[in-house]
Amino acid sequence: MPLSTLSSYQYCQQKAQQHYENFPVASWFLPKKIRQAISAIYAFARHADDIADDGSLTTKARYVRLRHWRELLNQIEKKQVLTEEYWAITGFSRADYAIFIALYDTIHRHHLPMTDFYLLLDAFTQDIEKKTYANFPEIIQYCRHSANPIGHLLLRLHGINNPRYFAYSDAICSALQLINFYQDIAQDYTQHQRIYLPQDEMQKWHITTDNIANLSLTYAMQGFMQQQFQRCQRLLQAGAPLGIVLSGRFALEIRIIIMAAARLLYHLQENPLLLLQAPRLTLKDKIWVITQALQATWNKNRSQKKISL
């Protein structure tokens, strides 16, 4: 039975809800049509990332599958309809088919550029074999492919095409990506042998691969990680004006994301033991995040009223 666009979006929304994220994905703060589009983008990125990390596939098989995904993006770009007959030939799953049906509709309905989707695939393809990063600029370059395109797409979904806003978004998205690295240090190394930390700085702090593998919380390791946290915090602060210059429900969503990131950084800085496990925001944390975001909204509205008076 052929998949409809509606059922494809529903699958993407289920995928977004099933996978735990510390940061909101397509939350109810946003209009329904935007939530649908975000869920399609999220499902595409999540599923492609899973392909790159799929240990049951050989390295060659992962490259081949992501190359096929790139070909499917080419078809979307050319407005070639993805038929179920074509999908049967490729041998991909019905889940893959649902994602691309929803993605086709999202891209053409909202006139999204294809560049951001290709950049995401570049990052996931890189993940297959690249295990270490020589320095922080190299990590930021990875973020430009793996995270920043998501922010650009979110802005474009809201009809925003302002370079200054894109710069704010890049700072926020890169900070979010770094936080994900920090909270998944153990998992990334034990499962994929990846270390998303600058090798040159590790050497200065005399941090070895064994320290990462065993997560030995020595004074050097703690000092090294505090340096990473502080730099990430500065990056998050550099992007914070985006939550002020925007308006409406989207601005509130951005402020919630920023506050959630700030809260996670706070916990990581205050409790090094959290590096031993992926920290999650508690109910108390979430209440704090929402409260702070709403307080910022109230302060902004109050300032605007004073200016108008």
Which of 129, 158, 174 is the C-terminal boundary of a domain?
129
CB 179 within 8 A of CB 265: yes
pLDDT digits over 116-134, tens only? Answer: 999 999 999 999 999 999 9
Looking at residue 26, what is its pLDDT? 53
Among 77, 106, 129, identify where a domain stops: 129
- The answer as to whether 261 is a domain residue is yes
Distance in angstroms between the alpha carbons of the first and the last residue of the chain: 61
- pLDDT score recorded for residue 117: 97
One-letter amino acid at 288 equals W
Q: Is 307 inside any structural domain?
A: no
Total domains present in the chain: 2
In this prediction, residue 308 carries a pLDDT of 37
One-letter amino acid at 42 equals Y
Give the pLDDT score at 300: 64
User: Per-residue pLDDT tens for 28-68?
Assistant: 567 777 889 999 999 999 999 999 998 889 999 999 999 98
Closest CA to 114 of 71, 82, 83: 71
pLDDT at 307: 37
Cα–Cα distance between 204 and 84 in angstroms, integer?
55
Q: What b/e sequence results for 193-223 when a residue is b if at least 16 CB atoms lie within 10 Å of its CB, and e otherwise?
A: ebbbbbbeebeebebeeebbeebeeeebbee
Joined tokens for residue 130: 């690249």
How high is the pLDDT of residue 97? 85
* Residues 89 and 163 reside in one and the same domain: no
Are residues 189 and 87 part of one domain? no
Tokens 């930390």 -> residue: 197
CATH code at 191?
Answer: 1.10.600.10
Domain holding 89, by residue range, is: 1-129
Extract the residue ranges of the chain whose pLDDT is less than 50. Answer: 305-309
304 lies in a domain? no
Q: Has residue 308 been placed in a domain?
A: no
Kindly give, in sequence order, each residue whose CB lies less than 8 Å from that of residue 247, ignoring residues fewer than 6 positions away: none
Q: What per-residue confidence (pLDDT) applies to 155?
A: 95
The verdict on 154 and 125 lying in the same domain is no
